[in-house]
Amino acid sequence: METGDALEAAVRIPIRTPDQRVRVFVSSTLGELAEERKAARTAIEQLRLTPIMFELGARPHPPRSLYRSYLAQSDIFVGIYWQRYGWVAPDMDVSGLEDELRLATRMPRLIYVRRPAPDLDPRLGDMLRTLQGEDGPSYKPFGDARELRELLLDDLALLLAERFEQVQPNSAPPTSVVNLPAPTSTFVGREVELDQLRTLLSQDAVRLVTMAGPGGTGKTRLAIEAARAVAGWFGDGVFFVDLSAERQPEEAFAAIARAVEVDELPGGPPLERLTHELRQRQVLLVLDNVEQVTTAGPGLVELLERCPRVKLLVTSREVLRVSAEHVYPVPVLSLPADDLSDPSLGEVLASEAGRLFIERASATGTGFTPGPGDAPDLAAICHRLDGLPLALELAAARVKLLSLTELRAGLDRRLDLLAGGARDRPSRQRTLRDAIEWSEGLLTEEERTVFWLFSVFADARLGDVNETLREVPGMRSVDVMEALSSLLDKNLVQASPGADRRPRFTMLHTIRQYAAERLGRFPELLQQVQDAHAAHYAERALDLHRQRTSVDRRTWLTAVAADLDNLRAAWQRCAERHDVARLDELIAPLWGYHEARGDYRSVLALGEELLSALTELPSSHQRRSDELALRANLARTQLVTRGFGPDTEQALVEALGRLEAASAVPQRFPTLRSLAALQLWRGDFERGAATAHELMAIAERDSDPALLAEAHLTNCVSTTWLRDLPSAIEDTDKAAAFFEAAGSDFVAFRVGPSPGVVAHAVAGLLRWTAGFPDSASRSTEQGLRLANELAHPYSQAFAFHHAALLDLWRSDLPAVEARAEESKRLARTHSYAIWRALALVLQGAARVGMGSVDAGLAEMEQGFGLYQQLATPPIFWPSLLVIRATTHATAGDLERASVLVEEARTGLGRDHPAAAEVALARADILLAGPTPPVDAVRGIVEHAVELSARRRARMLQLEALTRLAAIDAGSPLEQRTRQRLRELYDTFTEGLDSAPLTAASAVLSATL
């Protein structure tokens, strides 16, 4: 080809985008340029391109068809030269090095020559001079490997920018969330399939693509690469969801919700939450291993119908059989032609199966390099394994132990042995099972037994496996560590570092399924290992429970998460056997973990399953006591998730009555704590105070900091908050101090916000009301900080709500809007109906105050509509009505505001904590009218002064006296009222720039 033709060809052939894995062929001699080759690989991979460095052209007896095949599949040629020209084969007139250069004229060529080169081979000198005379290639000298790396990075980046080819007219680099697993190995072949999948996904009418095929066909990896190629089309993200562990549609939709960050607390149907979250978003969901939950198909169609910009890319061994489905059968990898009696190595490498096997075998660290004589064995292995990627990779790992001939013979014998297998299995699935079975056939008897038994573990540490299996009859003499090491070498078990950096062992799902089926042939052995597994993880649960008060929260949650699947499997086994004793051991860490994640549905499920097991036991005093305590815990969980109601109260009261004679504090304390909250919420202050006193007595008797923190909080909200704010603040400060002294927020079977967060958040509101604005802000920020440190969703929602409420009192409306938005986001993610309703109320009020009247009112009324649908506490209703009334007044609707404030007054006793603020709101609304009844308003405000003074609520008292001074201006009472305001104002030592103090100062500064 002439120079001009070569350049024209290079320009004609576009460079594909990086998400299509551009291949860069690197040509060089080996030994003299070893460091430069490493530098080139680093530069290429840094740009997420694929280096092709199988450079047999520089070796003795180069198979020309081999590097010709590699070059044919490459996009960019990089030549790195120094002094050597390379060996010239007898049947060639140039070296492989120069032959590669000549064959690469169709693609862009980047040439780098190391200088100086004192021993330059003359023929290499001739080649380089000829090359310098051509217009096409880029030609640059370099001094060392580091300089080469920098040059190559710059040149490749520039080349890609100049020759970038868009796959679709609207394709763009993804700028949104893409959680696709990062590749850990090269992706071989599949160009045709990727193009077909991109075409399917580009069609508006195609919303659901099911990539169907048997296990081991590489569906997952192909789906990931296809999704990566089209990521730029989905402005709101591409989300990968592994559904291999799910068995029910609801579990599958919950897993999808977690992936798109609509988690942790499944307070409503996951599908409903998911459709609500995605209804306006443009996303691609990659759902992997859906064969476990094909019954979710109708739900997926519903998701598509309600979310018009969502597309689904599904991998499954079984089609979903739903109307919206476009089935894409995933083929096996291409094979060497089967009509060749004596295939060449180049012909094997021209097939995808051949390239995958050789690449994986070369990565085993054994120095595997195929020669021309290996081609027949390689072709036969590819055919015997039907081109299935998993089977090829498993077989490739065997080259550490066997020659290719031995490997081929072993597969041949095993295939023949199982040729008459079940006819209802697809042939490729039988072949995959053959590959796994053949790998199993290499195991010793002890290794095989460990292989089967290991299938009961989700994943595990070596010590857990060893201790568990030693309890299985006949296994004490087995060296489990040695057997597991062998399984690891044979790729039947995988190892990866856990969160504690200790290795954890697991199996690929397909292999684990196979091993479990084998184990299932021996029912007695299966039951023995399941019982041993349950017993071991019940002990592990006890250990985790003990750690809960001695390690930090994050460390503990990480430890539970690592063993969560094993703990759940143990729980399931014990539940099936109604083993209450072990369920009792397992429930504490499982309850604590799910509660910490805000997953109250799982908490309820655990309690209900344990309750079911308890009812199977013979009746006894202990059983009845345990059952009642459990029912009380479940009632408390319902109190947080569903609000209070007659059934919840009855369950708590009944539990307390039955536990009256019980001396066990862990049973009585949490039930009393919930009963106190219930009594407060119902406005039963007298009974609430008595319950708070009993709680304090228990906590002080045990000198338990965690219990004391809870007791002081209960005393605050049940007693001191109602009567004396400074005393209430003292209670919250003591609660915060005891919480910190406990070193843990753990109290058995606790639900709801963290006591530490509650202490700080409530203290913020109390301090403001008591007249300490700056301290109030600091307390509120401490609560937010702690909630975020704990990463406890319910505590975070609690803290953000209270912070937004304080901002509303401070008249910082932008801050109210921002805090309420955070609270709303948490509520939406975790289905916290109560916090969502309250966030809408506060955000609406803020927006009305900032001028967005219609939108703000609509949002606030939406919040009230949601709030009134819930079983919510009456104690808070008057305060909420005050917000509603003042917002309508701000919007100019005094008539509606008057109705709402009168509703707030209904049934409001003098001792109600909201009485003073209701009175002030009523006075403001009356004063805003066209003909305000001044004398009546003055009486209302004086009443507010009296109420707030009684509780030592200085901020409310200041606001009331400020209004009273304005009312009395110009009257005989003016001087006396101003004096009262001055005396109170002078008691404030902080927050002088806050809105209420600024208003009071303005009144006092006015000329008499």
Instruction: Clarify whether residues 284 and 228 are in a common domain.
Output: yes
Same domain, 182 and 160: no
Residue 220 and residue 309 in one domain: yes
Residues 161 and 197 in one domain: no
Same-domain pairing of 321 and 355: no
Give percent above pLDDT 90 in the chain.
Answer: 35
One domain for residues 48 and 118:
yes
295 and 228 within one domain: yes
For residue 302, being part of any structural domain is answered with: yes
Q: Once rounded to an integer, what is the mean pLDDT over residues 831-855?
A: 92
Give dist(CA 283, CA 308) in Å, integer: 10
pLDDT grade for 12, boundaries at 50, 70 and 90: very low
Place of tokens 């209430």: 728
> In this predicted structure, what is the pLDDT of residue 408?
83
- Give 123: exposed, middle or buried? Use CB within 10 Å, 0-12, 13-18, 19+: middle
Residue at 324 is within a domain: yes
Q: pTM here?
A: 0.56
pLDDT of residue 681: 67
State whether 267 and 407 are in the same domain.
no
Give the pLDDT of residue 749: 63
pLDDT class of 797 with cuts at 50, 70, 90:
very high
Task: Give the DSSP H/E element, type plus range, for residue 141.
Answer: strand 138-142
Identify which has the larger pLDDT, 177 or 523.
523
pLDDT in tens, 567-577: 999 988 998 88
In a domain, 549, yes or no: no
Burial 646-664 (b: 16+ CB within 10 A, else e): eebbebbeebbebbeeeee
CATH of the domain at 228: 3.40.50.300
Across 168-179, average pLDDT:
52
- The reply to whether 183 and 325 lie within a common domain is yes
305: Cα separation from own chain's centroid: 26
In a domain, 61, yes or no: yes
- Is residue 380 assigned to a domain? yes
Q: Look at residues 329, 354, 369 and tell me which one is the last residue of a structural domain.
A: 329
Q: Is residue 81 part of a domain?
A: yes
The yes-or-no verdict on residue 172 having pLDDT over 50 is no
When comparing pLDDT for 644 and 9, which is higher? 644
d(CA 973, CA 279): 62
Specify the amino acid at residue 373: G
90 domain-assigned: yes
Indicate whether 61 and 125 sit together in one domain: yes
Select from 720, 714, 710, 719 the least CA-distant residue to 689.
719
Alpha-carbon distance of 830 to 287, in angstroms, equals 22
CA-closest candidate to residue 441, choices 402, 384, 389: 402
pLDDT in tens, 739-764: 888 865 555 566 778 889 999 999 99
Over residues 393-448, the pLDDT tens digits come to: 878 887 877 888 888 887 655 433 223 223 333 333 344 566 567 668 768 899 99
> Is residue 63 reached through a cis peptide bond, with omega within 30 degrees of 0 on the bond before it?
no
Those residues whose C-beta lies under 8 Å from the C-beta of residue 653, and which sit 6 or more positions away, are: 675
Can the peptide bond before residue 264 be classed as cis, meaning omega within 30 degrees of 0? Answer: yes
What is the b/e burial string over 411-433, where b = at least 16 CB atoms within 10 angstroms of the residue's CB?
beebbeeeeeeeeeeeebbbbbb
Which pLDDT belongs to residue 859? 95
Rounded mean pLDDT, 867-873 = 73
650-674 tens-digit pLDDT: 666 666 566 554 444 445 677 777 7
β-sheet bridge partners, residue 209:
313, 326
Q: Determine the pLDDT at residue 305.
A: 93
31 or 771: which leads in pLDDT: 771
Q: Is 418 helix (H, G, I), strand (E, B) or coil?
A: coil
Could you give the angle at the alpha carbon of 267 between the alpha carbons of 596 and 603, nearest 5°?
45
Final residue belonging to a domain, choices 297, 329, 361: 329
Name the band, by pLDDT with cuts 50, 70 and 90, for residue 262.
Answer: confident
What number of CA atoms fall less than 13 Å from residue 273's CA on the CB side?
29
Q: Is 875 contained in some domain?
A: no
Give the model's pLDDT for residue 432. Answer: 55
Rounded to the nearest 5°, which phi and psi values hold at 139?
A: -130, 115
Mean pLDDT of 693-708: 88
Query: What range defines the domain where residue 371 resides?
Result: 345-425
CATH number of the domain bearing residue 101: 3.40.50.360
Taking each helix axis from N to C end, the angle separating 509-520 and 427-441, rounded to the nearest 10 degrees, works out to 80
Query: 714-721 long-range contacts, Cβ below 8 Å, gap at least 24?
Result: 714/673, 714/676, 714/677, 716/762, 716/766, 717/677, 717/680, 717/762, 718/676, 718/679, 718/680, 718/685, 718/688, 718/689, 718/691, 718/692, 719/688, 719/689, 719/692, 721/766, 721/913
What are the helix (H) ranges across 906-953? 915-927, 934-950
| pLDDT band per the 50, 70, 90 thresholds, residue 312 | very high
- Asked if residue 390 and residue 278 are part of one domain, the reply reads no
* Three-class secondary structure assignment of 645-657: CHHHHHHHHHHHH
How many structural domains is the chain composed of? 3
Residues 162 and 182 in one domain: no
Q: Which of 102, 134, 166 is the last residue of a domain?
A: 166
- Whether the predicted pLDDT of 682 surpasses 80: no
Bridge partners of residue 211, in order along the sequence? 315, 328
